[in-house]
Amino acid sequence: MGSTAEFKNPATSTLFELVKSRRTYYGLKGESPISDDAIERIVQDSVLHVPSSFNTQTSRVVLLLKEEHQKVWDIAINALEGLVTAGRVPREMFENSTKPKLNAFRAAYGTVLFFVDYDSLAPIKEKFAIYADKFDPFAQESNAMSQYLVWVALESEGFGANLQHYSPLVDEQITKTWDLPASWKLDAQLVFGLPASEPADKSFAPIENRFKVFGK
């Protein structure tokens, strides 16, 4: 059981209510509780205002809605089907498990594609050579912060969402389909839509085993 101390600012309580209600929703409908402009604002603000190491601003994001979103999952289905044909994935597993799962993503309203532009780090890696190997993981960490913020904000507005990772399987087709710069490396796909089912039960390891405080 964690601390239940009161906050000074009610917005802090609201923030943590939203944090607690963010869950993984797999059952999603191709409907939206808000305007496409409001979705765009969530995604843009989550890219603009999330920090990055040395303010390198390495995250790149593509918002895909409706038919454009469906294309992502057609690409994934085709890619996985290719693996079946090549004998690398059993057909039965694809038909019974993988394909229905991908079709469930396809049935949602939108997908946010999160990329990192590692190439843009070349000058700073040269300038701070001693940290050179840290910049790529820092860029991923910053990207993950944007992923999380979009996830929380979309669910705050009534969406359900789930986070997927089909890279590198889908990378080439995604770059080609939306004519994206070659330096944008895909990290994650956040699928969102109107919730059609409840999230699964979730257990929590005791916070006492994961947190220490000193000097209180």
Ligand X SMILES: Cc1cc2nc3c(=O)[nH]c(=O)nc-3n(C[C@H](O)[C@H](O)[C@H](O)COP(=O)(O)O)c2cc1C
Query: What residues make contact with ligand X under the rule CB under 6 A?
Result: 23-24, 162-165, 199, 202
User: Which residue type does 134 have?
Assistant: K
> What is the closest distance, in whole angstroms, from the C-beta atom of residue 188 to ligand X in the complex?
7
Cβ proximity to ligand X, 14 vs 24, nearer residue: 24
- Least distance (Å) between residue 6 CB and ligand X: 25
What are the two backbone dihedrals, phi and then psi, of residue 32, each rounded to the nearest 5 degrees? Answer: -130, 135
**Shortest Cβ 127–ligand X spacing (Å):** 29
Q: Based on CB atoms, which residue is closest to ligand X, 47 or 124?
A: 47
* Residue 188 CB neighbours (<10 A): 20
Instruction: Compute φ and ψ for 130, nearest 5 degrees.
Output: -65, -25
Residue placing its CB nearer to ligand X in the complex, 127 or 165:
165
| Helical (H) or strand (E) element with 158 | none
Residue with tokens 């999160």: 114
In the complex with ligand X, the residue whose CB is nearer, 132 or 145, is 145
CA 151 – CA 137 distance, rounded (Å): 21
Nearest approach in angstroms of CB 25 to ligand X is 8
At closest approach, how far in Å is the CB of 143 from ligand X? Answer: 10
- Using alpha carbons, list the distances in angstroms from residue 12 to 18, 149, 152, 156, 213: 10, 15, 14, 14, 21
Closest CB to ligand X among 156 and 164?
A: 164
- Dihedral angle sign, alpha carbons of residues 130, 135, 138, 140: negative
Instruction: Give the Cα separation of 73 and 32 in Å (integer).
Output: 18
